Amino acid sequence: MTRRLVGQAVTAALLPAADAPKVRVGLLGSGHSHFAGKLKAIQASPLYDIVGFAEGNPARKPPPGLPLLSVSQLLADASIQLVVVECSVWEALPWGKQVIDAGKHLHLEKPPGNDLAAFRQLVEAARRKRLLLQTGYLWRWHAGVEAALAAARQGWLGDVYLVRATMNADRGPKERATEAHYPGGGMFELSGHMIDRIVELLGRPTTVKSWLRHDSRFPDQLADNNLAVFEFPRALAVIAQSNQMGGAGDHRSFEIIGTEGTFIVHPESAPPRMRIHLRKAQGPYRAGWQDLTLPPQPRFVADFAELGRAIQTGQPLRQSYDHELLLHETLLRASGELA
């Protein structure tokens, strides 16, 4: 059953368009921690042909083995359909704007800056030009999270009244300095992964309350022990996030609780597991508690499969322009940057 669940989560994204030419892609920047993984996923995909790489920050060393272009050459190349922007957070919106202005589809790393008005302008420009815009949030194709959301949408969990998530990390001085650029600290850097799926399920929260604390002994001001509570008309969502937890990567979790059932994804990796309780059997699940283990969930593969297929077919992405705007607005509210 677990393999069938995984297949249902990703099959639609992984099917290439029949006889379609490869998508010609350029990469811009390498400063984001996701760069190496995304480069590997694109290189391994049958959907893409990498045209070249440009680095907008001269302080960074270009990765070996890629054709090197200047930023202006990359943006002016009419054959390039997609640009993947893998820069630092504070560079995301200016670089993303250049890509959309050049008439190319855009994959933009998360979180895409902290200026909601500028992000809205970017999204509306992409919408107006009918260009795809995809942000780099990791749980969009995670089979466990997908199964939890599917169970909620099918009504198997009854009335959903609580969503809880953890996204802890174990940050050293260099990573802490990067995240300290923003008042939300670790909440701003990481909680978008969960907010992405929370607002997809529950919509716009009526209120957002955050506790952004510096509780570690590090001699900085990074918000490293954080909590956000999101109120909806008939539900709550809670995100806990800290930056000094050993083994944090194998602790991250997402759970949906309703009147008829509970669906817990914990941990999300190594290996990913699901723990489910239903008052009565529903779909592939039996009544009572059950534990299921999923195969490894490779990062970035399904995201770029969906994006490449959408470019080939002219179909929209699953996450709409409006969803990207709501996600970013809610992230900034949780990070203390918007009321």
pLDDT per residue as tens digits for the range 305-316: 999 999 999 999
Task: Please name the amino acid found at residue 62.
Answer: P
Task: Please name the amino acid found at residue 46.
Answer: P
pLDDT of residue 18: 64
Residue 6 has pLDDT above 50, yes or no: no
Domain range list for the chain: 2-137+303-319, 143-296
Residue 95 has pLDDT above 70, yes or no: yes
The topology (CATH level 3) of 143-296 is: Dihydrodipicolinate Reductase; domain 2 (3.30.360)
pLDDT per residue as tens digits for the range 230-275: 999 999 999 999 999 999 989 999 999 999 999 999 999 989 999 9
Q: Across all residues in the chain, what is the average pLDDT?
A: 94
Q: If you average pLDDT over residues 188-203, what whole number do you get?
A: 98
CATH superfamily of 2-137+303-319: NAD(P)-binding Rossmann-like Domain (3.40.50.720)
pLDDT per residue as tens digits for the range 274-312: 999 999 999 999 999 999 999 999 999 999 999 999 999
Q: Could you give the angle at the alpha carbon of 143 between the alpha carbons of 313 and 41, nearest 5°?
A: 55
Helix (H, G, I), strand (E, B) or coil at 300: coil
Q: If you average pLDDT over residues 151-180, what whole number do you get?
A: 97
pLDDT of residue 246: 95
pLDDT of residue 4: 55
Strands (E), the chain: 23-28, 48-54, 82-85, 105-108, 133-135, 160-166, 207-213, 225-232, 235-242, 253-258, 261-265, 273-278, 288-293
Q: 188-213 as b/e, with b when 16 or more CB fall inside 10 Å?
A: bbbbbbbbbbbbbbbeebeebebebe
DSSP H or E run through 304: helix 301-313
Burial of 134 (0-12, 13-18, 19+ CB in 10 A): buried
Cα–Cα distance, 103 to 106 (Å, whole number): 9
Residue 161 has pLDDT above 50, yes or no: yes
pLDDT per residue as tens digits for the range 99-140: 999 999 999 999 999 999 999 999 999 999 999 999 999 999
Q: If you average pLDDT over residues 309-325, what whole number do you get?
A: 97
pLDDT of residue 255: 98
Cα–Cα distance, 190 to 253 (Å, whole number): 13
pLDDT per residue as tens digits for the range 10-29: 555 555 566 789 999 999 99
**The pTM is what?**
0.94
Give the pLDDT band of residue 56 (cuts 50, 70, 90).
confident
pLDDT of residue 19: 77
Instruction: Give the list of residues 6+ apart from residue 164 with CB closer than 8 angstroms, or none.
Output: 237, 238, 239, 240, 253, 254, 255, 257
